[in-house]
Amino acid sequence: MTADRTGPVVRTPHGSVRGRYEQGIAVFRGIPYAAPPFGPLRFRPPRPPTPWDGVRDAGAFGPTAPKPPYSEAFAHYLSDPEIPGDACLNLNVWTPEPTPVARLPVLMWLHGGALTRGSSAVPVYEGSAFARDGVVCVSVNYRLGVEGYGLFPDAPPNPGLRDQLAALRWVHQAIDAFGGDPDRITLCGQSAGAISAGALLAAPQTQGLIRRAVLQSGPPEASDRDKVRRMVRRMAARLKIPATAEAFAAVDRRLLLSTQAEVGRLSSPVLGGPAFGIVVDGDVVPRDPFTALLDGDAAPGVELLMGWTRDEYRLWLVPGGLLERVDRLGPVALAGAMARCHAGYEVPRGYRALHPDAGTAEIVGQMVTDHLLRVPLHRLADTRPGTSYVYEFAWPSGLPKLAACHALELGFVFGTGDVPESKKLAGEGAPQELRDAMHTAWVRFVTTGEPGWEAWDAAHPIRIFGDGPPYTAYGGRDAELALWSTGPTASETAPAADFRAPGAELAAAVRRLRRSTGARRR
């Protein structure tokens, strides 16, 4: 590393970059880790960037991947900057000591956004707090939506995931020059970023590259290929083109994004529907990542920190007033949740018995949250006792109805609760003590592999970050999650009168619900 009057200079595998000192932290933004994925590289695996001579300025965030904006209802709560330009495969580094002798632990961050939105430029993900605490923080942009996760007969699957793999390889090769230890990389993501991190954990190509992993509100999973194909085919039908990468590459980029947004408008974690996702491809994803991790074939010895927010579903249901619509639909909404979760009637009955004062929307939301998140993460922890740590974020937002919703914990993890973009979701008054406790737990895990509470075992310890000091609860979700393993399946039981919904009525209700929301996983 060298420095001049304008900032630190570090040599990367493709050329030198000049960052900035910001409050004692060296910050490098917009470093290309792969070539712009357009022209002949569109819908193709990432390629190395063209090396450059001299010193490249790394003072500003690089271009973000093409993406549609959030709907007005969601933009009220979530920020998603758009930075134009083709060189969107870039990353950022925050480091306290940009010198190879430092050998500091590394956190590599994968943002959420349902694989259709988000970027490393979201202010909530600012990495200075990690750097101040001795962690080199790296955040990554990757291709999104149809550009990154479309499934075509004439192009390889999962280019967005392949981008992330290329970034991980770049970090492993280059991070020592920024003060990081390539043997202590923690891969961390939230929502779609956590799903991506789980897929990379299970990828044969990453073995030996990842020391630890953090999965926030997203389990390892592979999407059904037909579900992804339906998204592509619906877009092709609207555009009146063949469902091929060649045909999609010829469409105006803005038209492609607006078509993607319109086709994906009816998809959500609660309602299901076609959506973009990581698919088994026989290469980076040779089989379902969840199965591979459960079997112990993948990522042996990798320590895991994983968890959820208490009221994940609130971010999916509150914007646009869907929460009230679900409550009004009552039994029809419950039947829809059963279909969404492939659950028998014993499951909603069990939730009613455990939570007699809960409304329909809460029952539906918690059922879907458990089905999508808590059940798989519990199962994953069960197969890795002693090296897994589980948390629940339970502090309620200061904004009406959101409670402890999806993505609310991010400002606490990054120590960015004071930025306006965090307050869009948390409101005012987020307690500093809780911010410090949660951020410190992540720093401890990245540094030592132990976040500060006991590892998962038969007692099922879950660290609760809520009102007051954090504490450990034992088996706090066991009663609900047991319903998924002991209750009969939908095909094994007859419908009960209180949950009966005729097929036509149910189908119409689900269509009404889908029309009323643009909700997606963040």
Model confidence pLDDT, tens digit, residues 79-129: 999 999 999 999 999 999 999 999 999 999 999 999 999 999 999 999 999
Please state, in angstroms and rounded to a whole number, the distance separating the CA atoms of residues 187 and 172.
11
* Rg over CA atoms, the chain: 22
Residue in the block written with tokens 């003060």: 179
Which candidate, 460, 453, 310, 441, places its Cα nearest to that of 379? 460
Packing angle of the helix pair 331-341, 503-515 (nearest 10 deg): 90
**Which residue among the candidates 14, 172, 371, 406 is catalytic per the annotation?**
406
Return mean pLDDT, the chain. 91
Is 439 a known active-site residue? no
Residue 190 scores a pLDDT above 80 = yes
Q: What is the pLDDT of residues 414-426, one digit of tens each?
A: 999 999 999 999 9
Q: Characterize the bridge pairing of strands 461-465 and 388-393.
A: parallel
Mean local confidence (pLDDT), 125-146? 98
Q: Which letter does DSSP use for residue 105 in this model? A: E
Residues 501, 489: Cα–Cα separation, whole Å? 17
**pLDDT digits 0-9 by tens, 276-317:** 999 999 999 999 999 999 998 889 999 999 999 999 999 999
Q: How far from 249 is each of 228, 246, 455, CA to CA, in Å?
A: 18, 5, 48
Secondary structure, 3-state, 114-174: CCCCCCCCCHHHCCHHHHHCCCEEEEECCCCHHHHHCCCCCCCCCHHHHHHHHHHHHHHHH
CATH topology of domain 19-50+57-446+462-515: Rossmann fold (3.40.50)
CB of 169 closer than 8 Å to CB of 185: no
- Please answer whether residues 181 and 207 qualify as being in contact, where contact means their C-beta atoms are separated by less than 8 angstroms: no
Whether 346 is catalytic is no
Q: How far is CA 245 from CA 121, 158, 261, 424, in A?
A: 28, 13, 18, 37
**Dist CA 103 CA 178 (whole Å):** 9
Out of 79, 120, 139, 191, the active site residue is 191
Domain residue ranges in the chain: 19-50+57-446+462-515
Task: State the virtual CA torsion across 30, 45, 119, 413 in degrees, nearest 10.
Answer: -100
The catalytically annotated residue of 312, 362, 409, 480 is: 312
Of 409, 410, 343, nearest in space to 372 by CA: 343
Q: Quick one: pLDDT at residue 297?
A: 84
Tell me the helices (H) and strands (E) count for the chain, helix number first.
Answer: 20, 15
Does residue 289 contact residue 194 with C-beta atoms inside 8 Å?
no
Our answer to whether residue 191 is catalytic in this structure is: yes
pLDDT band at 485 (very low <50, low <70, confident <90, very high): confident
